[in-house]
Amino acid sequence: MFEFLKSRNNNTSIDTLPVTTDIHSHILPGIDDGSPDIETSLQLVQGIYDLGIRKTVATPHVICDLYRNTPAIINDALQKLAAACITAKINISITAAAEYMLDDYFLQLLKSPAPLLAIHKNLILTEQSFASATDNLHHIAFEMVTLGYRPIMAHPERYHFYHSNYEAYSRLKDMGFLLQINLLSLTGYYGKPVAKAAKYMVANNLADLVGTDMHHFRHLEALKDKKSLHIFDDLLGKKNWNDLDAL
């Protein structure tokens, strides 16, 4: 009987992601390296809706030399996409924040009186360069926490400079960062060392949040893949992820 239950479970079709809220994506049209236009944005939104997402926070890059997205630019793109979703009858809640690169420009923003764009309440999504670790990370985290923000480190598993030292993930948490892993990291989409690091964080309760970090159709197709959905269910299915009020 137990064997029967086991095999039935293995054959169960899983059609949705293990979350209904996404907190990291590049679905706003034309303002970063994500969706280039409103038609693409709509198809990406329809895709994650079909995977069970009912609330999504778009997080366009804010990077000194590449994407100096202001709140006005981001809000304008958000309004366009939200209106297009209503017209297309996609019943999803879309808000916007940003994914802030921890560069000198971010330090300027931190010092300016204008508030940073939050995922939810005081939660701020940040990222580092993939090339090298941020020198003054302790200082930046301290400044953010002092100002009342709660920083989230986007995809810590993707930074190769942590792969030889998993203790670094605990140090990030000591600094005040919540850790957000990319769903596709668990599937090997970004390579084996990234998958290993992501699984380590999930297994050791270091991961606080998950996100799609969806930029384009290749990401959507990889998320929809049946093998991916089973991996997400196996590794993440037992916890209520992305309950922002509970953080």
Q: Which one of 15-23, 167-175, 188-196, 212-220 is the stretch in contact with Fe ion (CB under 5 A)?
A: 212-220
Number of residues that bind Fe ion (CB under 5 A): 2
Give the closest residue to 216 by CA, choosing from 41, 51, 58.
Answer: 41
**CB of residue 61 vs Fe ion: minimum separation in angstroms?**
7
- CB-CB neighbours of 236 under 10 Å: 18
- CB-CB neighbours of 183 under 10 Å: 28
Residue type, 243: D
The answer to whether the beta carbons of residues 82 and 92 sit under 8 Å apart is no
Q: Could you give the CA distance from residue 19 to residue 53 in angstroms, rounded to a whole number? A: 7
What order do you get walking across the sheet with 123-127 strand by strand? Answer: 61-62, 99-101, 123-127, 150-154, 178-182, 209-211
Contacts to Fe ion from residues 82-121, by CB under 5 A: 99
Q: Which one of 82-90, 140-148, 175-183, 211-219 is the stretch in contact with Fe ion (CB under 5 A)?
A: 211-219
**CB of residue 213 vs Fe ion: minimum separation in angstroms?**
4
**CB of residue 33 vs Fe ion: minimum separation in angstroms?**
9
Chain residue at closest Cβ approach to Fe ion? 213
**CB of residue 83 vs Fe ion: minimum separation in angstroms?**
24
**Identified binder of Fe ion from the candidate list 32, 157, 208, 213, rule CB under 5 A:** 213
Q: Which residues bind Fe ion (CB under 5 A)?
A: 99, 213
